Chains A and B, each alone.
Chain A
Amino acid sequence: MDLQYGPEYDEFRAEVRAFLKGWPLTGGEADLPEEEQERLFRQRGIEAGYVYRQFPREYGGSGQAYDALRENIIQEEYARVGAPGNSLMQGPGMLVPTLLEMGTEEQKNHFIPPTLRGDMKWCQGYSEPGSGSDLASLQAPARLEGDEWVINGQKIWTSNALEADFMFGLFRTEPEASKHAGISYLLVPMKQAGIDVRPLKQMTGAIEFYEVFFDNVRTKAENIVGQRGEGWQVSRATLKHERNLIGNPRMIGDQFDRLLELARDTMLDGRPAIEDEGIRRRLAEIEGFVRACETSNLRMLSATIRGEEMQAILPMMMTKLYSTDVTQMIMKAAYDLLGAEGLVEPALGGNYARENFAAGIVQNYLFSLGPAIAGGASNIQRNIIGERGLGLPRDPRPSS
């Protein structure tokens, strides 16, 4: 065991820090719209080799050799100053890795560069009203007519559907084939007649995802990733990337630090809540889970660096279930600290402004209930851990 990064990496961290002195932008650049500022700084990060490191240069990435430790240093440093680095949006986060793994050369050239520049925005079309955890039962049909796919049906829980230029989605193209073998992975332009995007209001009051209805919507025949009927396998690659996005244990330490701050700032019976024995005990118990997340993450990082991922396969399987539970624990504790102020309506968009502080906490608490459902619900995770991790017998085969 050796927790030192070594001089080469310490030097690298110093370089990244020096680069990040350029954020926030100053001078005339500071007057640009927020989105423009982020785009500009992200582009500088790509040129410096810090953003989209593993994506090849020819597609607009920075084409660096794979190095999990450098990647980790970059993420830590970017997070420290809140600078825009790798976008976690569906396009760069999920579609691009999938295309790099399974796309044709034409698809890579056509879709990846504008996606990484932020000029082409994406949404994901997987779930349907009748197909949640049992995703492969999805029904939305796509049939080939001449050189175009014609799509009908409905998708649901689609984040960013309103601003997306394209959807990557799963559609039933082989109705005669068995459940999993009848699905294809299609890329569908969103700005066309026949697409109807309707907002879904969350329990927080915010609108972050949509229902998408398809009425003879069209996309070119070549906008299929993988072969016909291979969409399920292609989507597994994307879902893997999605899980990586959700279960990021690095965030949990920050969440816990904010909980501690809240406990210091909140007065209870005339003194800071953090001085109350019961609250200290509860926070200390939560910290055990937080530290478990952090050290587990360190194990996975270390195993990845050394090419020994198999040694950390169990914690990897557990990350999503564990970290979403711990986040809920933290947010629940924060909510409880509010006392009577917990009666206020949640703020829209997690507003942390001082005058709206309680409403922001309420929003965060309600929001924390979501990740246990998105990207593979907790009970599905338990099945995976039980069957693949512990070698328990598979559930009875579903009817197909």
Chain B
Amino acid sequence: MHFGLTEEQLLLQETLRGFVAAECPPSRLREIFDSGEAHDPALWGGLSEMGLCGLVVPESYGGAGLEVLDLAVCCEEVGGGALPGPILFHCLAALAIVRGGSESQRERWLPKLASGEWLGTIALGNDNGSWDGDPGAPSPSLENGALSGVKTYAPFARAADLVVVGTAAAGLAVVERDASGLVVEPIAGIDRTRPADRVILSSTPADPLADGAETFGYVRDASLAALAADAFGAAWALTHMTVEYAKTRQQFGRPIAEFQAVKHQLADMATKIEPTRGLYWYAAYACDHLVDEAPRQSAIAKAHITDRAVELARDAVELHGGLGFTWECDVQIWLKRALFDRAFLGTPNHHRARSASLGGW
């Protein structure tokens, strides 16, 4: 029995943490955040060199052949650094093709995704605010090998070479960048580290994944676990950031961290988030090894952790005082990261309703 990370996973986290600290320190993060160009070629090249782009792609297609838990522990670091860029969505697109693609589909796309030569993303949002898989979601139907409709909040779709689109009956289909009738419009999004776009499909050729309907649940659950991990990382980063600020900020002639009101608020922040680490581990592990539990546990983890992360970000803003409310203060970057993780692919209430039904309540 081992409910913890392996040496390899810890090393992966450490390496990624080092990469984020070196290549995207707060000064660089701020530049990217203010520029609005979140897909940074240098960062993408670095992630590709580290093998992150092919993390979940089997070795036979040039990837590392790892699992959803490995992806999630990476997402913790990515969220911790508020790392701008599409890596999470790219890996989810790859995961969909790994799981649901035919042999020829895998051969066509996976090597390019694994190397990072192609960028992949997912488009699971619909124009009426629903997400694919929700009852009544107006997901587009595949007709004669083509899709028509509008998908929203598709992260980095403008830069993507390939989009995994949610279709009717919880199917998945791949649309390539140069497909006819594909128009991508930017949406001014809340999280400038991960802008999401509107994808307009007009009789756009799409290649359905061979086992799209079977794959959909797996991709959704993995996405929820990964978002929970990202929010967990962001929440811990906010806690550390606020602890450091409270140790240095002086009022009444001493660091505010000496005031018990502040100390207790910081302790509560940490206590909100630290005990949830196992929640995202368990959900991610379940995706590959406890498949019956995955839908429910990933829903619980996503709802709980993203809710706590947003609560905690609110505390972080408050403890930074007036500064915390400014554009200059980095707290807003992680606050918005947490807000994205919370709303993307369904709010906590949405997933709590799902977990209640899945639990047979």
Contacts and interface: CB of A to CB of B under 8 A. Distances in A.
A3 interface: yes
B281 interface: yes
A4 B1 contact: yes
A392 B304 contact: no
A281 B285 contact: no
Contacts of A9: 1
Contact of A382 (B5, B267, B278, B300): B267
B142 interface: no
Given A382-B263, A392-B243, A295 B300 contact: no
Contacts, number: 158
Contacts of B300: 284, 287-288, 291
A18 interface: no
B112 to A, nearest CB: 30
A321 B310 CA distance: 21
Contacts of B1: 2-6, 9, 69, 301-302, 305
B277 interface: yes
B3 A301 contact: yes
A31 interface: no
Contacts of B355: 284, 287
B246 to A, nearest CB: 7
Interface in B323-361: 348-349, 352-353, 355-356, 359, 361
A287 B275 CA distance: 13
Contacts of B2: 1-2, 302, 305-306
B27 interface: no
Query: Which one of A287, A293, A306, A389 has the greatest number of beta carbons of chain B within 10 Å?
Result: A287
B217 to A, nearest CB: 19
Query: Which one of A277, A291, A302, A381 has the greatest number of beta carbons of chain B within 10 Å?
Result: A291
Contact of A295 (B3, B239, B268, B353): B3
A301 B4 CA distance: 10
A298 to B, nearest CB: 4
B202 interface: no
B277 to A, nearest CB: 7
B44 interface: no
A117 interface: no
B5 A383 contact: no
Q: How large is the interface on B (under 10, 10 to 19, 20 to 34, 35 or more residues)?
A: 35 or more
B6 interface: yes
B316 to A, nearest CB: 13
Contact of A298 (B3, B266, B307, B359): B3
Q: How large is the interface on A (under 10, 10 to 19, 20 to 34, 35 or more residues)?
A: 35 or more
A387 B270 contact: no
Contacts of B268: 382
Nearest to B246: A392
B65 interface: no
Given A3-B290, A306-B2, A318-B271, A299 B303 contact: no
A392 B6 contact: no
Contacts of A289: 304
Nearest to B349: A281
A389 B267 contact: yes
B263 A383 contact: yes
A318 B356 contact: no
Interface string A28-59: 00000000000000000000000000000000
B297 interface: yes
Interface in A265-306: 274, 277, 280-281, 283-285, 287-289, 291-296, 298-299, 301-303, 305-306
B226 to A, nearest CB: 16
Given A3-B285, A9-B1, A288-B304, A293 B267 contact: no
Interface in B258-289: 258, 260, 263-264, 266-268, 270-271, 274-279, 281-282, 285, 289
Query: Which one of B255, B278, B300 has the greatest number of beta carbons of chain A within 10 Å?
Result: B278
B270 A389 contact: yes
A87 interface: no
A59 B247 CA distance: 50
B257 interface: yes
A59 to B, nearest CB: 30
Given A69-B1, A302-B1, A382-B268, A318 B260 contact: no
Query: Which one of A301, A305, A306, A393 has the greatest number of beta carbons of chain B within 10 Å?
Result: A393
B267 A274 contact: no
Contacts of A277: 353
A385 B270 contact: yes
A283 B356 contact: yes
Interface string B240-254: 000100110000000
22 contacts: A1-B2, A1-B69, A2-B1, A277-B353, A281-B349, A281-B352, A284-B355, A285-B307, A288-B303, A288-B307, A295-B3, A295-B278, A295-B279, A299-B278, A311-B4, A322-B271, A382-B268, A383-B267, A386-B263, A386-B264, A387-B263, A392-B247
Nearest 5 A/B pairs, CB to CB: A295-B278, A288-B304, A284-B352, A382-B267, A302-B3
Given A1-B4, A284-B355, A386-B264, 13 more contacts: A1-B69, A6-B1, A280-B356, A285-B303, A285-B307, A288-B300, A292-B279, A298-B282, A301-B1, A302-B3, A382-B263, A385-B267, A392-B266
Interface of B: 1-6, 69, 239, 243, 246-247, 255, 257-258, 260, 263-264, 266-268, 270-271, 274-279, 281-282, 285, 289-290, 297, 300-301, 303-304, 307, 348-349, 352-353, 355-356, 359, 361
